[in-house]
């Protein structure tokens, strides 16, 4: 009975070792297909002739990048990245424009908006200063004292027919 227990323990350790080794190898195998030197995978999109901010201290900017699906295949020099070009790859020349990863400004100022919604005025797309000043006068009449009317948003003096700032 003692030999049986030793055999079981030995088999258990073999099984544990095999399971651990298998798990390690399977995990390593996941990255084998993603090896950056494996250019058999072709990109859906290549952006080149660019200044691509990498956020990497050793290489702050790259010249090009290759994407397939929703994954980066390569980020590097034109030569490195063009190795991922296929027959159906869309190539975009950015003419030395800068690419900054991950900027998505989809936010709102809920508290300010909730407290001041009826005191704010937007001039986006207003064609003339006369229209803008009329809107301002109407908003001032609706805004309770001692509150200020706030003109907010994306307007520019260049949108107005008069091509100047309001005075």
- Cβ(75)–Cβ(63) below 8 Å: no
8 Å CB contact between 67 and 44: yes
Contact 90, 123 (CB under 8 A): no
* CATH 2.30.40.10-classified regions of the chain: 39-103
Q: What is the pLDDT of residues 97-149, one digit of tens each?
A: 998 877 666 666 777 666 666 778 889 999 999 999 999 999 999 888 888 88
**Domain 39-103 coded CATH 3.20.20.210:** no
Could you report the per-residue pLDDT of 74-92, keeping only the tens digit for each?
A: 999 999 999 999 999 999 9
């Amino acid at each position: 009975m003692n030999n049986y227990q030793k055999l079981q323990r030995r088999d258990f350790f073999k099984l544990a070792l095999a399971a651990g080794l298998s798990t390690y190898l399977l995990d390593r195998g996941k990255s084998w297909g993603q090896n950056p030197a494996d250019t058999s995978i072709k990109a859906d999109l290549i952006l080149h002739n660019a200044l691509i901010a990498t956020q990497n201290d050793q290489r702050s900017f790259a010249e090009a990048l290759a994407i397939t699906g929703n994954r980066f295949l390569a980020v590097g020099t034109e030569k490195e990245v063009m190795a991922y070009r296929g027959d159906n790859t869309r190539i975009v020349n950015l003419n030395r424009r800068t690419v900054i990863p991950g900027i998505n400004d989809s936010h709102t100022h809920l508290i300010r908006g909730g407290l001041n919604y009826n005191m704010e005025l937007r001039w986006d797309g207003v064609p003339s200063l006369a229209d803008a000043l009329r809107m301002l006068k109407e908003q001032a009449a609706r805004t309770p004292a001692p509150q200020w009317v706030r003109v907010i948003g994306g307007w520019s003096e260049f949108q107005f027919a008069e091509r100047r700032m309001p005075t």
